[in-house]
C-alpha cells in the first residue's frame, strides 16, 4: 500500500470515497512527511464533523469548499499549518468550534492563522465603500503578521469565484468587481500568476458575461489552426537548441481572456490583431543557458526593435524574472517568447508562495520574500495615518505596478511606478530623505523636484537639515509612500499651528470678558474639558483654531457666564502676523495684503480665511455673523503676499517685456501673467504679483501707470 493510500485508509468509509480528499492527499504526499499528513487528515475529520449538515448555495456539502481551498494551497506546496488552517478557516465563524479547541488540537500557529482569516470578515460598516476599504486594510495588516493568512484568503476567494454562479446577479457583479479591484492585484503583487489569471478571468466572466462568451467562442474557433502553428514553431525552437547542444522545454503559452479583453479595450484593437499573437515559454536549466537560448531564437527569427526586456538582470517589483522578446515569425506573425529557469518558472506561477517549503533561514534570503517583506513594512507605516479609504487609495497605486527602474548613485536598482518623480525616489530611499529633500540630480544634472523619471536614469537627492515637505508636492507625487509621508507631516504641522492660533483666539475672547487663560486656572479648565468631552486643552485649542468651535462661546463656558448656547457672542478679534501657517489663509478672490481693511471668516476644518472688506463674496457670508472675526495687521510684517493687478496696454511690440521689467525694478516678483482680452489697439494683461504691503503695491502701480504704452492700472477684487 502506498504512502497516500495508507493515510486514506485511516479515514472513515464515507470520507475515503470523497474525490476531493483523495486528490488533496495525493498532492500533499508528494512533498510532506507522513506525520504532517496525519495531522491534516485529523483536521479534515474535525472540519467535516463541524460542518456536518451544512450546505453551500450550490447544494454541495459545505466541507467541499475548505477542501478546495486547501487543494489550491497544496498545489503551491504550502506548509502543513497553512493547509490545516485552510481546512478549518470557516469553522470558528460558521460552526460551534472555538479557537481554543483548534489551538489545543492543532497548535497555536494554526489557531492564529484561522483567527487571522476569520477576522477579515467580522466587521460592520456604515457604507459599502468603507466596508471594502476597511476589510482591505485588515487584510494588509493580516499579511504583515503572517503572509499565509492572505494566501488562505486568496484561495478562499478563488473557490468562491469558481462557484459564484449560484449567487443572485447583483451579488455576483459586486463580488466580481471587488475581486478585480483588490484580490487579483494582491495576487499579482505577491507574484502568484496562476491565481491572478484565474481571478481576473472569473471576474470578467461575471462582470461582462456577453463579452466573455463572444471572446471565448472566437478563441475556440481559432484554436485549431493556432495549435498547428504553435506545434510547428515549438519544434523549430527545440531543433535549433538541439543543434547547439541545449536541452530545454518549450510550451505554447495559453492566452487569457481578460488580458485579451484589456488589450482590445485599452489599445482599441480588433480581436484578430490580438488573437494572432503567439506566445511561447522556454524553460532552461540555468541563467547562462537562458541568454544562449535568447541568441538562438534571435538567430531563428528576427527580433522586433524595442520589444526586448531583461527581467532576469532587473526583476519586476514582485520578484518575477524572465527574458522577454518579440519576434517576426512565419509570414510576419508576432511571436512573444519568455525564457526563464525552472526556479523562475515556479516563482512566476506561485510567487512568494514558491519559497514557502524552504527552511526558515533560506526563506529570509529569498528574493520574492524579501521584496514582499519590504513592501509590507511600508504598508505598516502607511496604515497608521488617515482613514481606511485613504489607505486603500494609497495602496492601489502599488497594486497596479506599471514600473520603471532607476539607479541610486551607488548603482542600486530602485523600482518606481511609471510617472514617478524625484520626490517619489527620495521617499523610496527613506522617509527622512524625502522630508528633507531640496533638490535633485538626474544623470548628474540638476533638475526640478517635479521632474518625471525614466528607465535607467541615475538619481541623486540633495537634502538640507532644516527642510520640510512642501504641500504642493502632493500635486505631482505618484507613490503611496510619498503621498502618505507628506500628508502625515502636513497633518502634524497643521495641528501645531491650529493649537497656537486657537490659544490666541481664546485668550483674546477671554480678555473681552475680563479674564484670561491664566486666570481660568487648571481646575476650571479640567471641569470645562469634561463638560465638552475633550481629553486635554490642546484638543480644545485645536478645535477653536480650526473653526470647529467658536472662541467667544468657548470663553463664556470657561468663565461660566450664563448659558453659552443662548447668549449672543461678542465678536472675537485677531492680530495677524503672516506667520500663522496653514490655519490662516488669504482668500484667492480678493488677495488681501497688509494695510488693507480686512475681516476673518471661520471655516470649519480650515481655520481662518482673510478677506478684504470690499470683497464681493462677503455678502454670501454675512448671513453667519457668528463666524466673523475682527482682524488687524501686525506692524512690520516681513513676508510677501500675492495680489492681482490688471493693466490695459496699447498693442505695441515688446510692451509685455517693458511692463515686466518695470515691475521687477520695483523689487516685485511676477508669479503669473495672462492675457484677458485683446482688441485692435489695446490688450488687457493680468499680473499676479508678490508685494510687501499696500505701500509697495502703490509704488508698483504708480511706476507702471507712468509708462507711455500703459492706458490704465487697477487692482482687482471679486
User: Which residues have a catalytic role annotated?
Assistant: 93-94
| 342-363 per-residue burial string, b: 16 or more CB within 10 A, e: under 16 | eebbbbbbbbbbbbbeeeeeee
Grid coordinates representing 143 are 499579511
Across the beta sheet with 641-650, the strand order is 669-678, 682-691, 641-650, 710-715
Rounded Cα gap, residues 154 and 173, in angstroms: 18
Q: Is residue 252 classed exposed, middle or buried when 0-12, 13-18 and 19+ CB atoms within 10 A define those classes?
A: middle
How far apart CA 517 and CA 502 sit, in angstroms, is 12
Strand partners, 585: 609
In angstroms, rounded to a whole number, what is the distance separating the alpha carbons of residues 695 and 668? 12
d(CA 471, CA 162): 46
Number of H helices and E strands in the chain, helices first, is 31, 20
Q: Quick one: cell of 105?
A: 488540537
Question: Coil, strand or helix: which one is 439?
Answer: strand
Pairing assessment for the beta strands 278-284 and 641-650 based on DSSP bridges: unpaired
List the one residue out of 309, 361, 368 whose CA is nearest residue 338.
309
CA distance 157 to 172: 13
Cell numbers that stand for 582 in this block = 496653514
How many beta carbons lie within 10 A of that of residue 175, not counting itself?
20
Angle (CA) 51 52 55, round 5°: 75
Full 3-state SS string of 657-684:
HHHHHHHHHCCCEEEEEEEEEECCCEEE
Amino acid at each position: 500500500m502506498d504512502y497516500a493510500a495508507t493515510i486514506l485508509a485511516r479515514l472513515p468509509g464515507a470520507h475515503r470515497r470523497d474525490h476531493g480528499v483523495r486528490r488533496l492527499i495525493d498532492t500533499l504526499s508528494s512533498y510532506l512527511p507522513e506525520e504532517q499528513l496525519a495531522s491534516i487528515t485529523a483536521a479534515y475529520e474535525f472540519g467535516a464533523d463541524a460542518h456536518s449538515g451544512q450546505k453551500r448555495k450550490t447544494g454541495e456539502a459545505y466541507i467541499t469548499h475548505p477542501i478546495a481551498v486547501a487543494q489550491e494551497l497544496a498545489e503551491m506546496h504550502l506548509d502543513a499549518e497553512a493547509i490545516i488552517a485552510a481546512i478549518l478557516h470557516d469553522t470558528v465563524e460558521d460552526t460551534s468550534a472555538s479557537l481554543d479547541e483548534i489551538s489545543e488540537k492543532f497548535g497555536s500557529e494554526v489557531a492564529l492563522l484561522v483567527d487571522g482569516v476569520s477576522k477579515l470578515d467580522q466587521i460592520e460598516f456604515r457604507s459599502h465603500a468603507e466596508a471594502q476599504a476597511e476589510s482591505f486594510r485588515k487584510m494588509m495588516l493580516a499579511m504583515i503578521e503572517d503572509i499565509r493568512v492572505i494566501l488562505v484568503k486568496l484561495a478562499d476567494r478563488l473557490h468562491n469565484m469558481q462557484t459564484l454562479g449560484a449567487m443572485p446577479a447583483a451579488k455576483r457583479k459586486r463580488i466580481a468587481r471587488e475581486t478585480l479591484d483588490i484580490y487579483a492585484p494582491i495576487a499579482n503583487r505577491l507574484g502568484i500568476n496562476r491565481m491572478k489569471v484565474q481571478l481576473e478571468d472569473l471576474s470578467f466572466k461575471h462582470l461582462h458575461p456577453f463579452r466573455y462568451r463572444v471572446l471565448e467562442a472566437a478563441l475556440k474557433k481559432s484554436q485549431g489552426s493556432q495549435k498547428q502553428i504553435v506545434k510547428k514553431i515549438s519544434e523549430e525552437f527545440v531543433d535549433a537548441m538541439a543543434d547547439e547542444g541545449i536541452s530545454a522545454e518549450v510550451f505554447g503559452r495559453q492566452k487569457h481572456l481578460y488580458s485579451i479583453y484589456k488589450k482590445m479595450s485599452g489599445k482599441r484593437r480588433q480581436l484578430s490583431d490580438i488573437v494572432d499573437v503567439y506566445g511561447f515559454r522556454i524553460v532552461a536549466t540555468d541563467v547562462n543557458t537562458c541568454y544562449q537560448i535568447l541568441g538562438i531564437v534571435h538567430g531563428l527569427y528576427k527580433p522586433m526593435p524595442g520589444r526586448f526586456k531583461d527581467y532576469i538582470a532587473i526583476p519586476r517589483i514582485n520578484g518575477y524574472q524572465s527574458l522577454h522578446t518579440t519576434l517576426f515569425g512565419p509570414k510576419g506573425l508576432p511571436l512573444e517568447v519568455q525564457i526563464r529557469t525552472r526556479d523562475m518558472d515556479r516563482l512566476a506561477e506561485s510567487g512568494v508562495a514558491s519559497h514557502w517549503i524552504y527552511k526558515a533561514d533560506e526563506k529570509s534570503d529569498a528574493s520574492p520574500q524579501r521584496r514582499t517583506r519590504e513592501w509590507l513594512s511600508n504598508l505598516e507605516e502607511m496604515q497608521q495615518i488617515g482613514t481606511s479609504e485613504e489607505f486603500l487609495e494609497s495602496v492601489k497605486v502599488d497594486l497596479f505596478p506599471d514600473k520603471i527602474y532607476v539607479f541610486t548613485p551607488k548603482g542600486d536598482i530602485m523600482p518606481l511606478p511609471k510617472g514617478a518623480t524625484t520626490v517619489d525616489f527620495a521617499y523610496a530611499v527613506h522617509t527622512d530623505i524625502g522630508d528633507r529633500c531640496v533638490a535633485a540630480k538626474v544623470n548628474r544634472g540638476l533638475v526640478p523636484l517635479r521632474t518625471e523619471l525614466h528607465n535607467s536614469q541615475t538619481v541623486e537627492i540633495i537634502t538640507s537639515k532644516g527642510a520640510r515637505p512642501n504641500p504642493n508636492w502632493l500635486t505631482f507625487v505618484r507613490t503611496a509612500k510619498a503621498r502618505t509621508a507628506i500628508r502625515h507631516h502636513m497633518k502634524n504641522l497643521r495641528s501645531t499651528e491650529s493649537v497656537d492660533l486657537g490659544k490666541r483666539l481664546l485668550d483674546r475672547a477671554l480678555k473681552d470678558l475680563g479674564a484670561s487663560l491664566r486666570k481660568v486656572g487648571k481646575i476650571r479648565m479640567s471641569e470645562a474639558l469634561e463638560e465638552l468631552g475633550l481629553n486635554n486643552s490642546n484638543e480644545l485649542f485645536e478645535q477653536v483654531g480650526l473653526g470647529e468651535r467658536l472662541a467667544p462661546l468657548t470663553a463664556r463656558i470657561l468663565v461660566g457666564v450664563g448659558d453659552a448656547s443662548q447668549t449672543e457672542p461678542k465678536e472675537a478679534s485677531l492680530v495677524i502676523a503672516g506667520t500663522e501657517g496653514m490655519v490662516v489663509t488669504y482668500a484667492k478672490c480678493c488677495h488681501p495684503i497688509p494695510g488693507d481693511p480686512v475681516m476673518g471668516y471661520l471655516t470649519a476644518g480650515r481655520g481662518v480665511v482673510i478677506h478684504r472688506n470690499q470683497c464681493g463674496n462677503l455678502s454670501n457670508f454675512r448671513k453667519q455673523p457668528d463666524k466673523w472675526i475682527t482682524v488687524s495687521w501686525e506692524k512690520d510684517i516681513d513676508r510677501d503676499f500675492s495680489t492681482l493687478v490688471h493693466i490695459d496696454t496699447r498693442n505695441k511690440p515688446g510692451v509685455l517685456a517693458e511692463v515686466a521689467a518695470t515691475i521687477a525694478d520695483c523689487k516685485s516678483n511676477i508669479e503669473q501673467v495672462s492675457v484677458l482680452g485683446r482688441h485692435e489697439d489695446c490688450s488687457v494683461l493680468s499680473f499676479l504679483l508678490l508685494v510687501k504691503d499696500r505701500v509697495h503695491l502703490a509704488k508698483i502701480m504708480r511706476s507702471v501707470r507712468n509708462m507711455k504704452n500703459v492706458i490704465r492700472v487697477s487692482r482687482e477684487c471679486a
